[in-house]
Structure 1
Amino acid sequence: MIELRQVSKSYGEKTVVDKVNLTIEKGEFVTILGTSGSGKTTILKMMNRLLEPSEGQILFENQDICHLNPVDLRRQIGYVVQQIGLFPHMTVAENIATVPKLLGWDKERIEARIVELLALIQLPAQDYAKRYPKDLSGGQQQRVGVARALAANPDVMLFDEPFGAIDAITRSDLQVQLQRIHQSLTDKTFVFITHDIYEAFKLGTKVIIMNQGKICQYDTPKAILNNPGNGFVEKLITTARQQEGLLEMAYD
């Protein structure tokens, strides 16, 4: 679905993504884990041409994206960010309908899609379609943001730390719901950025671990846990296990 070949991104002397090679298969749920400044958000933004690579090639369904119209490309890719960005003056239904309206869908098709998506995110249309964002909790707003990104039925969904500003209990619930949504949508490819190791390993069918603009390891959660690729990955896992141990001690 997505392939990066020797992709780099630099700002003057500073290289933030350094000769990255990466293949993401159709239907995967790939999480990208890394510290701040590791290059993960830059990679995500290059996938939908919000940023252009300084070097290298990015393919979307075997087409070089530099030859694709950026607007047409983005209409095939859903994008969800931490800030959500729902339009406050629009109802939930109107927010979800934004892209289908731009694409010229007819009224009946749009209304059917709104009902379908609100059912998918477990916010029934009869109760939520006419509400405004201010009437929703943070978790509900984030779910509507996911529905809006799914509205035009994109092949790929990009998530940039979407649950970072959500409280721990709601975040756990959203993780479960997002997994369920991915499993229920045939062949949808999800790419999800997080700095939370538990979130990355819980959600990802595969996990990318980044540090200083490079991919340290890209594998299944189980393979990474059983065989860390380098010292950075090993330290990351050890730190997480130590934190887990401290929590266990606190409850002994």
Structure 2
Amino acid sequence: MSQTAIEFQNVTKQFDNAALPSVDQVSLTIEEGEFITILGSSGSGKTTLLKMVNRLYEPTGGKIFLFGEDISTVDVVKVRRRIGYVIQQIGLFPHMTIADNISVVPKLLNWDKKQTDERVDELLNLVGLLPLEFKHRYPSQLSGGQQQRVGLARALAVNPKIMLLDEPFGAIDAITRMKLQDELLRIHGGLKRTFLFVTHDINEAFKLGSRVIVMDEGTVRQFDTPARIVKNPADDFVASLIQSAREQEEFWRMTID
């Protein structure tokens, strides 16, 4: 029986000098092991919602619970060490080898060298990079797609129960992006961890998400499976997203024909 991994209770985030909240009274529940995508355009509140889970932003109102624990009552460093976090910019340390980049948090947690080395090799294999070929390289010696794989490996280093991914494939070419999407689905299927993935791409959101949070102007317009969203859009905004995706499909169909 699954348990609730993340719960938002009336969560609001109002930035100083902003006319409207970036996130406005969001309440929803995510079960352990789900792959949740958050879909929305720039300014919709999707990244703000994500960043409140690991307390990069603090809510103005409401509460967030991880496995039943109110995260506002937990030391912020402890919260972040329990969560994997991957961003578009990757953020690898250029002066450190790939192995050292992946082992940053295990070393902070005083893992012994043997355990750390074994974990680095395990994670490189998991993300499709041969350890002997890659672990002694530096980030500048890797392609963008390979660097993103290393960023994912680093986020998984201490086996977090929750992974936050903020448009991690946004700066990667279309072919590599599709390969990384497939790889991420494979990894999630093997780990059975809870993934929360932000994207502005409807095709990516619907391909990856077991359920999709559709956001606009700080509010959740719909939270459901891709199939149910397509079949029964909750409002005109969601319907317009579906229509835009269908028009793209029609364009390619017409081009091929």
Sort the TM-score into its range (normalised by shorter chain): over 0.9
Alignment of 1:211-226 (within 5 A): 211-226=216-231
Corresponding residue for residue 149 of structure 1? 155
* Cα distance in 2 between the residues matched to 1:126 and 1:9: 45
* Cα distance in 2 between the residues matched to 1:14 and 1:221: 29
* Cα distance in 2 between the residues matched to 1:22 and 1:101: 35
1:55 alignment partner AA = G
| 1:249 paired to 2:254 | yes
Corresponding residue for residue 7 of structure 1? 11
| Stretches of structure 2 lacking an aligned partner (at least 5 in a row) | none
Offset, 1:14: 2.5
SS state at 2:147 partner: helix
| Stretches of structure 1 lacking an aligned partner (at least 5 in a row) | none
Offset, 1:10: 0.5
* Cα distance in 1 between the residues matched to 2:131 and 2:107: 18
1:39 alignment partner AA = G
1:216 alignment partner AA = R
- What are the Cα deviations for residues 35-56 of structure 1, in whole angstroms up to 9, with x where unaligned? 1100000000100000000000
Q: 1:53 aligns with which of 59, 81, 85?
A: 59
Alignment of 1:63-102 (within 5 A): 63-102=69-108
- What are the Cα deviations for residues 161-190 of structure 1, in whole angstroms up to 9, with x where unaligned? 00000000000000000000000103x100
How much identity, in percent, do the aligned residues show? 58
TM-score relative to the length of structure 2:
0.97
SS state at 2:22 partner: strand
Offset, 1:20: 0.3
Corresponding residue for residue 118 of structure 1? 124
| 1:21 paired to 2:32 | no
Q: 1:230 aligns with which of 229, 235, 242?
A: 235
TM-score relative to the length of structure 1:
0.98
SS state at 2:21 partner: strand
Corresponding residue for residue 109 of structure 2? 103
* Cα distance in 1 between the residues matched to 2:213 and 2:21: 19
CA RMSD, Structure 1 to Structure 2 (Å): 0.7
SS state at 1:15 partner: coil
* Cα distance in 2 between the residues matched to 1:19 and 1:189: 23
* Cα distance in 1 between the residues matched to 2:163 and 2:74: 18
Q: 1:205 aligns with which of 210, 214, 229?
A: 210
